[in-house]
Structure 1
Amino acid sequence: MAEPLALALDIGATKLAVALIGPDGLVVRGDRAPTRRDEGPQAVLDRLLDLAQRVRGDAAITAAGVACGGPLDARAGVLLGPLHLPGWDHVEIVRLVEDRFGVPAVLANDASAGAWGEFRAGAAKGAGSAVYLTISSGLGGGAVLDGRLLVGATTNGGELGHVCVRPGGRRCTCGRLGCAEAYASGTQLVERAREAMADGRASALADVDDLDAEAIVRLAADDDLAGELWAEALTCLGQLATDLVNVFEPEVLVLGGGLAEQEALPAAVRTAVTLNAMVPIRRTVRVERAALGGTAPAVGAGLLALERVA
């Protein structure tokens, strides 16, 4: 008998990703397309479902999983105006997927799905508990304790990027002051650089076309502004990570997202946890770079879907 397969759909701000996922988390095949969210929800949904149809091909699937940022209602299968998708108000995404493919579907927050993917098939495989942080354009995460994914009362828990690390500090996109995301996400690194230069701060960053977080990291050793921004981001991530391991006491802290590929980031987090986390937590927690990369949300969503129908 063939192994069951899940169709996994990951809805991001800039890209749509679809993959066929096996019960071991193996990506059988997958593809991507630009989101082009400015075209509106219907055009993006049509593109997403058509992409999923192409990836599925003639494969027999038993379930489908959808990963997307919140807010959402995972139990009802509805997107409730995700912050990265303007105009997506009360989109019944699970119903749309089930109608198109004729199999049960589940919805999960993308960072929570990423946490589950790394726990079941990635850097935390074999552990009993893990915390996952994804540091890219935004800052998110999820936690798995004693083998259970924590999702909260309304399935919107796990907003780990909105832990306060600078009380009274910079206003975050969520409206609160001093969130980790306001200092350590790629989007906010770029925003802070532009604000500083607009206020007259001299920097080599002014000569960078299409400024992004990677350019800030690349110039951090030679440019004062870039160096200050990157150093503060690493400090805030170290504070966040220390708080999280003290609260959850995971066996593994997994660092994912594009910025986690920068060698300085996991090194800084590992040092902060080693120096500042409580004893004996600091002696037992492992800080690991994510193993699944950008496929973690899709893998996690696919596995959650397979487990739901098992």
Structure 2
Amino acid sequence: ASVEAPMPRAKDGPRANDEPSANPGFGRALGRDILDCLLLQAARSAGVEIFQPCRAVAIDRDGEMQMVRIQAGNETTMLRAPVIVAAHGSWEPGPLPSQLGKTNRPSDLLGFKAHFTGSSLAPDLMPLLVFPGGYGGMVSADHGRLSISCCIRRDMLALLRKQPGPTQQSHLSAADAVSRHLMESCRGVRDALESAHPDGSWLAAGPIRPGIRSCYERDIFRVGNAAGESHPVVAEGISMALQSGWLLACELACAPDGRAGREAAGRRYEAAWKKLFSTRVYAAAAIAGIALRPGNATLMAAIIRNFPQALTLGAQLSGKTKPVPGFV
């Protein structure tokens, strides 16, 4: 089944001198390869000292300060700071106190993403994909590229990879298995990619860990997926990461020095985070639960076909029209 419904229009942002807004009320898609470089350049322009390529390997208390050990190859450097912000996501394992423990389960969702050029997808469409064992989405991004991303259960991926590969003696790679599954399961994907060409290799990450976590713990603030993560079915991951960074910056900017000031800022930040994001986290979990449950595909198709406005409601619940408090 293939059903179209209008996206909800966001409210206009602030306007200077009561000038008419040029904002049509809809978002635009920008690839992470471009966005991340822009963010890094903005940080450098603002006076941030960049350590790259480096990774944080330990955080230890030193009185009122924190000691962070960063590593690049065999070289180690120690940094001291009163405030630590963990922005490392949720899926990568590591020794930091802000990183989550890892266990592998058959129901784990693994993420995949690829770009294509020459797609026939209309630029004003943002399809939601539902297929056996997972869900995903497509969007027209920068430089004429189509971005397609999806999550698939670990056990389903293992089953798909057992299918014959390019030779009878080989099995499919994870990327090939996911790509074939999408093309065979979703007519919309076949139509959009019929004359398209890959722009780079498939990327993978995971398993994802949806849920709400502590925003402030042991003198470490968390932002992005480290603080809380929604199912990607609502496509709000990077938006939540940027907005949570904004919320934390607002609280830290007015927080008194010392641990008491940080703890008060942590409580305010956690309250602001839950107020802004908890609804979309729960809504995404409900939508993903319906999409992933075996046998629900027929039911979901019937609901969407008869009530296409359910898609519009889902986009509203995902927070796409919700303004960020205090953002100007």
Larger gyration radius, structure 1 or structure 2: 2
- TM-score, structure 2 as length reference: 0.27
